[in-house]
Amino acid sequence: MATYISHSPEETAAFGEQWGRDAAPGWVIGLSGELGAGKTQFVKGLARGLGITARVHSPTFALVNEYPGGRLPLAHLDLYRLDTPEQIYAAGLEEYLRQPNGVTVVEWCERWPELNPKSEIRNPRSQVRRIQFETLDECTRRLTYEDSGA
């Protein structure tokens, strides 16, 4: 496990931008953390690192936002409004875990058994990376991450 301390939304986005520059086809990035912890800021930076110029916003109500046009396409999922694995599967989101040509980011990933590190179900076809966002104070966040795809 590694840790990054961000002191501002801009630093969180810059961290995401670096991940976007390093991203490879098939990456799945699972994000966990409370509301307002910086998950969407990270995704904005990730998109910038992928060369995506579209405005990135949270797909809380849409469940999925897709962003083509960069070095790799980006699918941004938000599971906040889905409470059970059955709801996730009923929404037909599995295809996003198997995007061989793009990057998928899943906010509230712990709700999806294939992305929950405590689950015995795994997605062997994707390189899964997880980041836990923790609010330390009004501006400071601790991002604890691991790279199970390396």
pLDDT digits (tens, 9 = 90+) for 28-45: 999 999 999 999 999 999
Tokens of 46: 């990730």
Question: Domains in the chain, start-ordered, CATH in brackets?
Answer: 2-147 (3.40.50.300)
The Cα 132–Cα 115 span in angstroms is: 13
User: Tell me, what's the pLDDT at 118?
Assistant: 64
Tokens of 135: 């609010």
User: Tell me, what's the pLDDT at 150?
Assistant: 43
Q: What is the pLDDT of residues 9-24, one digit of tens each?
A: 999 999 999 999 999 9
Q: What is the pLDDT of residues 91-145, one digit of tens each?
A: 988 888 876 789 999 999 988 877 766 655 555 545 689 999 999 999 999 999 9
C-alpha distance from residue 11 to each of 1, 14, 44 (Å): 20, 5, 11
User: Tell me, what's the pLDDT at 30?
Assistant: 93
Identify the three-state secondary structure at position 37.
coil
- Percent of all residues in the chain with a pLDDT value above 90, rounded to a whole number: 63
